[in-house]
Amino acid sequence: MRIERLELRLLRLRLVHFFETSFGRAYDRTFVLVRLDGDGASGYGECVADQTPFYSPETTETSWHILSRFIAPLVLGVDFAHPRDVFPALHAIRGHNMAKAGLEMAAWDLYARQQGQPLWKLLGGNGQPIAAGVSIGIQDSLDQLAAKVEKELAAGYRRIKIKVKPGWDLAAVETVRSRFGAIPLMVDANAAYRLEDAPHLKRLDAFDLMMIEQPLDDDDIRDHAKLQAQLKTSICLDESIKSLPLAEEAIETRACRIINIKPGRIGGFRESIRLHDLCAASGLPVWHGGMLESGIGRAHNIHLSTLPNFRLPGDVAASRRYYVPDLIEPPIDVRPDGTIAVPDGPGIGVTIVPERVDAATERRLELDPASFR
Ligand code: OSB
Ligand code: MG
């Protein structure tokens, strides 16, 4: 697979509903879309870095900078035997996993299309429908939260995740439990607490949650281990798991019992498969996280979610919760049984609508091997 040309686009899409986490409220989503061309085929990757450096240090602008200045010259004109060779080829660049993943996942799509294979097959998945969950942001009122939960349960989703932060936690969970009973329920704190909050977080144990996601800082595996030792509720790590060695450390120190896999966070599919396999060998279930992706990144996530240790419903939901229209046609939909079918066809298997991509494009850059001569 020779990478002959690279196109970057900075896209902006309006969210159907605002999305609020412990670090703020967003009304739209900006991201870099990567397109690779080679041997008459094209592959796409969605870089999940956000406008703000709140979830991770990377932003859309840092990912643009790293992709165009440092990643592009390492891959343009290069003939890769397999897309699993792309991440190691970027080893000289420290960090910037989201930028790397945007490129690497486009390379997997390109290769799969060249081979005429669906992506899930190359990744080692089974191509079967995946169990969908939803992530519900912080709302203006508990009634609004209850209305959202009701709507998503009616749509069939197999588990509900609600975002929490100090001041929006116990009452939110209590509201959902009292109105909807023993539904599969979890919370995500996006690093909003400190170890000193352990007595407060212990009160969540009474609600029989599936897990609490990332209660403490993204660089604090040690404190997560101390917290997990005090909690009945399982901790799931998201932000903390930025590499395989960090996952090994978290598992060894029992800082969590579950891991959320987001390819963008750890550098792409190769590393996601390794993380998936490590968790399987260590007896930890995994689930697929979400980053408010358009249908393009969402399709990548669906394919990866068919690997066997994705044993819990992920944050992979229908397009209509995020963008109408989506960049793809038909959009990703959830079925009444709460599952999502894996798109058919080679690569990510979805049809991208060029006019919609054009309409959302704020900046575009084309590079080829001659760009760096
Ligand atoms: O922490 O899982 C998170 C969205 C953006 C950044 C971080 C997170 C999220 C979500 C939404 O929870 C998941 C989704 O629906 O895509
Ligand atoms: Mg999270």
Question: Which pLDDT tens digit goes with each residue over 147-179?
Answer: 999 999 999 999 999 999 999 999 999 999 999
Mean pLDDT of the chain: 97
Catalytic site residue from 163, 202, 226, 232: 163
- Ligand 1 atom 7, closest CA: 291
- Ligand 1 atom 6, closest CA: 291
Q: What contacts 349, CB < 8 A, 6 or more positions away?
A: 118, 119, 299, 303, 342, 343
Position 373 pLDDT exceeds 90: no
Query: 188 CB less than 6 Å from ligand 1?
Result: yes
The pLDDT value recorded for residue 23 is 86
- Cα(297) to ligand 1 centroid in Å equals 13
- Cα(213) to ligand 2 centroid in Å equals 6
Which atom of ligand 1 is nearest the CA belonging to 161?
Answer: 12
Q: pLDDT confidence of 45, banded at 50, 70, 90?
A: very high
121 is catalytic: no
Query: 316 CB less than 6 Å from ligand 1?
Result: no
- Ligand 1 atom 14, closest CA: 290
Q: How many residues does the chain have?
A: 373
Query: 289 CB less than 6 Å from ligand 1?
Result: yes
Position 132 pLDDT exceeds 90: yes
Query: 135 CB less than 6 Å from ligand 1?
Result: yes
Query: 239 CB less than 6 Å from ligand 1?
Result: no
Q: pLDDT confidence of 51, banded at 50, 70, 90?
A: very high
- Cα(214) to ligand 2 centroid in Å equals 6
Mutate to test the pocket of ligand 1, among 30, 292, 319 (most ligand atoms within 8 A of CB): 292
- Cα(85) to ligand 2 centroid in Å equals 28
Secondary structure of the chain as H, E, C letters: CECCEEEEEEEEEEEEEEEEECCEEEEEEEEEEEEEEECCEEEEEEECCECCCCCCCCEHHHHHHHHHHHHHHHHCCCECCCHHHHHHHCCCCCCCHHHHHHHHHHHHHHHHHHHCCEHHHHHCCCCCCEEECEEECCCCCHHHHHHHHHHHHHCCCCCEEEECECCECHHHHHHHHHHHCCCCEEEECCCCCCHHHHHHHHHHHHHCCCCEECCCCCCCHHHHHHHHHHCCCCEEECCCCCCHHHHHHHHHCCCCCEEEECHHHHCCHHHHHHHHHHHHHHCCCEEECCCCCCHHHHHHHHHHCCCCCECCCECCCCHHHCCCCCCEECCCCCCCCCEECCCCCCECCCEECHHHHHHHEEEEEEECHHHHC
242 is catalytic: no
What is the radius of gyration, based on Cα positions, of the chain? 20
Domains in the chain, ordered, with CATH? 5-117+351-372 (3.30.390.10), 122-340 (3.20.20.120)
The pLDDT value recorded for residue 61 is 98
pLDDT tens sequence across 202-242: 999 999 999 999 999 999 999 999 999 999 999 999 999 99
- Ligand 1 atom 1, closest CA: 190
pLDDT tens sequence across 93-127: 999 999 999 999 999 999 999 999 999 999 999 99
Position 14 pLDDT exceeds 90: yes
Q: pLDDT confidence of 275, banded at 50, 70, 90?
A: very high
- Cα(329) to ligand 2 centroid in Å equals 28
- Ligand 1 atom 13, closest CA: 290
Which atom of ligand 1 is nearest the CA belonging to 322?
Answer: 15
Share of the chain above pLDDT 90, in %: 99
Q: pLDDT confidence of 339, banded at 50, 70, 90?
A: very high
- Cα(3) to ligand 1 centroid in Å equals 31
Query: 48 CB less than 6 Å from ligand 1?
Result: no
Q: pLDDT confidence of 22, banded at 50, 70, 90?
A: confident
Query: 238 CB less than 6 Å from ligand 1?
Result: yes
- Cα(39) to ligand 2 centroid in Å equals 38
Half-sphere exposure of 195 (CA within 13 A, CB side): 14
Q: What is the pTM of this model?
A: 0.97
Query: 290 CB less than 6 Å from ligand 1?
Result: yes
